Amino acid sequence: MLENVRDAETSKCVERGMGSARSAAPRWVGAIRVGRQVRELYVVIENPRRLVKALEFFDHFKVKVRGISDSTKHVQGVVVLDSYGRKYLADNNIPVNGYVVDIDVQGLEKGIAMAIICSKTLMINPLKRLIVGIDYGKNIGVAVIANDDVVYTGSYRSAEEAVNDIGFFVYNVESEVKIIRIGIAQDIDENFANTIVERFKDVAHIEFVPEYKSSRHKYMLEDTKLATDEIAAINIAFYRSKEVT
């Protein structure tokens, strides 16, 4: 059973017991899930602008959202709400079995980032490690790992958009360790690498790792449609460029 969390300050994400934050090769049971939503996510926000902004973020990061009505008997999963939403749940006697993220307490972006992690990470509380893998090429592949779960992958043509989305997770998700791993490639743009280092050196460990054949390694990856640079970014994040053939 999930813990019934009423206080957003206690809504932290839980570690899976898979070893240290810097281990190169975690041990998996079954296939590595790629961006699969493991909990329903509900939104109860009164302010229209904040609601639209929240929905835009969830859509961008591939999270399905549900609403709550006065006919809802109970909610199991993750609830993103404001003071109005908290009162609405209380007035309609709707119990929550899961995680409550209050954007009036945490702020909009931090709350949304935490909700994404909670909806896509199997074990929560505390979050031991957040790892971002980056594959630089014609497109830029990005993979975000929370503990050992792949919570988001993306393929970008714009370096600025890639950096902004990396920053969304690195700045807004609280974890014991944050690591950004960049695949070493002959054609990597020095300006891009410098931007990553300068932007995030104070909040994350920056590592440059080999990316040899990283886009070809699909071992243990869940069968899903991913761009080659997204696959490479996952393997770079897990640092599996050489271990798997």
Per-residue pLDDT for 72 more than 80?
yes
Backbone angles phi, psi at 4, to 5 degrees: -85, 95
Helix axes 159-172, 108-120, angle to 10 degrees: 90
CATH of the domain at 209: 3.30.420.140
- Examine residue 230 and state whether it is found in any structural domain, yes or no: yes
CB 149 within 8 A of CB 176: no
- How do residues 114-151 score in pLDDT, each as one tens digit? 999 999 998 777 789 999 999 998 899 999 999 989 99
Number of domains in the chain: 2
Distances (CA, A) of 95 to 52, 98, 99, 117, 118: 25, 9, 11, 22, 18
Rounded to a whole number, what is the largest CA-CA distance in the chain? Answer: 60
Share of the chain above pLDDT 90, in %: 62
Considering the domain architecture, whether residues 233 and 144 belong to the same structural domain is answered as: yes
Q: Which residues constitute the domain of residue 51? A: 37-120
Give residue 38's pLDDT.
87
The two tokens of residue 72 are 């809802």
CB contact set of 193 (below 8 Å; sequence gap of 6+) = 136, 182, 208
Distances (CA, A) of 47 to 40, 50, 84, 99, 104: 22, 5, 9, 21, 11
Please give the model's pTM, rounded to 2 decimal places: 0.81
- Examine residue 243 and state whether it is found in any structural domain, yes or no: no
Q: From 159, 158, 170, 164, select the one nearest 132 (Cα to Cα).
A: 170
Q: Which of 99, 120, 141 delimits the end of a domain?
A: 120
Share of the chain above pLDDT 70, in %: 78
Backbone angles phi, psi at 157, to 5 degrees: -90, -25
Give residue 223's pLDDT.
53
CA–CA separation, 106 and 99 (whole Å): 14
CATH of the domain at 89: 3.40.50
Per-residue pLDDT for 64 more than 50?
yes
Considering the domain architecture, whether residues 100 and 167 belong to the same structural domain is answered as: no
Considering the domain architecture, whether residues 154 and 110 belong to the same structural domain is answered as: no
Give residue 126's pLDDT.
79
Give residue 27's pLDDT.
39
- How do residues 181-218 score in pLDDT, each as one tens digit? 999 877 778 899 999 999 999 999 999 988 755 444 45
Give residue 215's pLDDT.
46
Angle at 163 between CA 14 and CA 139, to 5 degrees: 110
CA–CA separation, 41 and 236 (whole Å): 29
